[in-house]
Amino acid sequence: MSLWEKAAAELLDIIEWTDDSSDTLVWRFPRFDNEIKYGAQLIVRQSQAAVFVDRGKIADVFPPGQHSLTTKNLPILTTLLGWKYGFHSPFKAEIYFVSTRNFTNLKWGTKNPVMLRDQEFGPVRLRSFGTYVVRVDEPATFIEEIVGTGGHFTLDDISEQLRNLIVSRFADMIGESGIPLLDLAANYTELSMWLTKKIAPEFLEYGIEITKLLIENISLPLEVEAALDKKSSMGIIGNLDNFTKFQAAQAMEAAAKNPGGEASTGVGMGIGFAMANQLGKVVATSSEATPRIPPPLPGEVYFVGSNGTKTGPFDLQTIISSISTGTVTTGTLLWKTGMTGWEKAETFTELKSAFEATPPPLPA
């Protein structure tokens, strides 16, 4: 410090703090050799408090307003001898300004999942995050317990400890609540109030008041959420047999109307036959609730050929169903056990009635 700065500090009799930061909690007023003159004017602004420290001990806390540092409003000065005007006052003290405003939008969240047992899903892992708001409620306690002799104390110096307290108490609370997993979202407000009430006394031990705490989200691991989405989709679909029949019918209709080339026709035909076969299985499964009847005697099996691609085997009923949808036409090549070669479908006598009941394709 230069000689001029030293002299200016001695002449200064206005003690104040204009905070231009957004995260400063405590700021110590700089004074050369910690000397304060008798009658100095202490200006404490709104959302501030000034803590007067004499010989390492807190002597008084000044609220917002303008205060003259005299024996009238600071009784501790009456015990000090030799207080006088000038550059060599023997009185030495420190003044700490404490911001008492609300610090908002502070984040908290679980670094690791919280394990708990749910009534419906069993053991699950949960993550959660939210925001909270704090303010210094007891400046003297805050300086004694947290700040110490530091000249500049910011929110980052304590935010980690506050977050750890919140997460630890959240884990206890969510495990003791017994709320089913699917009902947690409906209880965010109640859980937030419960958690605030639980940790408020611990914050006050540091001279800090927690004025608001919000739980914004409680989530499951991604793979569990995906499984839950599938379960929800099944619930929306309803009767799975009916849905499978509907999907199979749509696929067969799309394959029959496929206007692509020969390769596309073959693929569509294969899909059509597979869907027809699957549809038969679904119908058989859905009929289990009805009185059971003996299955039909085994018959001949057929193979379908198109563009060098063979599909099958299919039973006679599947072939007839494919004729009705237009997937098998009179020119489609078929083969069954006992034949020496492939023949057109129109040559099979057992399919004659099916072709006669099916209208010919519309002209192009």
What is the model's pLDDT at position 109? 93
* Residue located via tokens 């499978």: 244
| pLDDT tens-digit map of 24-66 | 999 998 876 667 777 788 999 999 999 988 877 888 899 999 9
Cross-strand partners of 97 = 27, 50
- Two tokens, residue 276: 């027809």
Q: How many CB atoms lie within 10 A of CB 362?
A: 5
What is the model's pTM?
0.58
- Report the pLDDT averaged over residues 329-349: 87
Closest by CA to 138, choosing from 221, 241, 63, is 63
Selected residue with higher pLDDT from 228 and 293: 228
| pLDDT tens-digit map of 82-106 | 444 444 444 677 899 999 999 999 9
According to DSSP, residue 144 is labeled: I
Strand 103-109 vs strand 14-15: parallel, antiparallel, or unpaired? Answer: unpaired
The b/e string for 219-252 (b: 16+ C-beta within 10 A; e otherwise) is ebeeeeeeeeeeeeeeeeeeeeeeebbeebeebb
Query: pLDDT exceeding 70 applies to what percent of the chain?
Result: 71
70-74, 132-136, 154-158, 339-343: which is most confident: 132-136
**pLDDT beyond 70 at 18:** yes
- Two tokens, residue 23: 């995260």
| pLDDT tens-digit map of 292-322 | 555 544 567 888 887 778 888 888 888 888 8
Task: Indicate the pLDDT class of residue 284, thresholds 50, 70 and 90.
Answer: low
58-62, 196-200, 341-345: which is most confident: 196-200
- Report the pLDDT averaged over residues 266-288: 55
What is the model's pLDDT at position 107? 94
Selected residue with higher pLDDT from 77 and 44: 44
Q: Domain limits of the chain?
A: 3-99, 103-225, 239-288+296-356
H helices within the chain, ranges in order?
A: 3-11, 139-142, 156-177, 188-204, 222-237, 240-256, 262-286, 316-325, 352-356
Task: Indicate the pLDDT class of residue 340, thresholds 50, 70 and 90.
Answer: confident
According to DSSP, residue 137 is labeled: S
Selected residue with higher pLDDT from 360 and 274: 360
Q: Which of 62-71, 188-197, 229-238 has the lowest mean pLDDT?
A: 229-238
- Report the pLDDT averaged over residues 160-183: 89
Selected residue with higher pLDDT from 17 and 236: 17
What is the model's pLDDT at position 66? 92
Domain 103-225 CATH assignment equals 3.30.479.30? yes
- Largest interatomic CA distance in the chain: 130
